[in-house]
Amino acid sequence: MMTSKGGPGRSEEHVHLIQSWRRLADQLGPLIGDSGFCALFGRACRVVAPEFRWLADTPTCKTRDAQIHALDDMLASVAPGMAQAANTALLQTFAGLLDALIGPALARRLLAAAAGEEKNIQERE
């Protein structure tokens, strides 16, 4: 499970945005690995870049932890409203790419199964 807490001095809304990405990364990481997650994330950034040009500058990382850190920094560098809009577009695009690759049914199942497993582990801990 990812351990980063995000950058200091972030608003509650901002922390919430990053947490949703962390959950997604934690769910998908064991399945597709760091490289799979980072590749999908990078592609999602390129797809939304025409609308949010600054997202195109998000560095491509080797681990999903580093990739979320990079996103954290990028979202913190713009106004909260802009960050919120860009994050929504990015999440939707990411999910759309996953759906296109493995189909919405399997994507839903895998994410739901991973979420359930994560919850079990947390309960055990």
Partner 1 sequence: MSEKVSLGKLGTGVQGLDVLLGGGLSEFSFNLIAGAPGSGKTTLAHQIMFSLASSERRALFFTVLGEPPLKMLRYQQQYAFFDMDMVGNCVRYVNLADDLRSGDFSGVMARIMKEVENFSPSLVFVDSFRSVAQTARSGNEGVADLQYFIQDLGTRMTSWQATTFLIGEYLHSETEANPIMTVADGMISLAQVHEEDSVVRKIRVVKMRGQAHLAGSHTFRITDDGLRVYPRVLPPLATDRHPGVAIDEDAQRIPMGTPGLDEMLMGGLPQGHSLLVAGPSGAGKTILGTCFLQQGVKMGEKGVAMSFEKGTSRLRNGALARMVQAGDVTIIESRMIDLTIDELLDELNETIDRTGARRVVIDSLSELALYLAPEGRTQLRAVVFRMIASLAKRNITAIVTMGLDDDFTRLRLSQADVAYLTDAIVLMRFGESGGQLRKFLSVVKVRGSGHSHDLREYVIGDTGIEIRPVGTEYEGVVHGLPSSRGTP
Count of helix runs (H) and strand runs (E) in the chain: 4, 0
Q: Identify the residue among 2, 19, 34, 76 touching partner 1 (CB under 8 A).
A: 34
C-beta of 66: minimal distance to partner 1 in Å?
Answer: 12
Angle at which helix 64-76 crosses helix 12-48, to 10 degrees, equals 100
The answer to whether residue 110 forms part of the interface with partner 1 (CB under 8 A) is: yes
DSSP H or E stretch at residue 12: helix 12-48
Q: 30 exposed, middle or buried (CB, 10 Å; 0-12, 13-18, 19+)?
A: exposed
- Which of 66, 76, 95, 102 binds partner 1 (CB under 8 A)? It is 102
Q: Which of 31, 51, 56, 77 binds partner 1 (CB under 8 A)?
A: 31
**Given the rule CB under 8 A, which residues bind partner 1?**
29-36, 40, 63, 98, 101-103, 105-106, 109-110, 112-113, 116-117, 120-121
